[in-house]
Amino acid sequence: MSAGNLEEVFKAALKTARAGDIIIFSPGATSFDMFKDYADRGKKFTAIVRKFCR
């Protein structure tokens, strides 16, 4: 799968996930300066999860 940003990837994962599935965030490539560091990337991912999974 290819997407323009982390939110697009997460939304696509939600569309394919079924009840009871677990979505694991495990980046396998560089983020090309989309984030300051790994901690920033984690914070952004957490914010996206909270936005869509309330």
pTM above 0.75, yes or no: no
Does the residue 10 lie in any domain? yes
- pLDDT tens string, the chain, 54 residues long: the values are 677 888 998 999 999 999 999 988 777 777 778 889 888 988 998 999 999 887
* pLDDT one-digit tens code per residue, 27-42: 777 777 888 988 898 8
What is the domain count for the chain?
Answer: 1
Domain assignment present for 30: yes
Q: Has residue 12 been placed in a domain? A: yes
> Domain for residue 1, yes or no?
no
Q: Kindly report the CA angle at 43 between 19 and 11, in degrees rounded to 5?
A: 35
pLDDT at position 1: 64
Q: Does residue 39 belong to any structural domain of this protein? A: yes
Residue 33 lies in a domain: yes
14: containing domain: 6-52
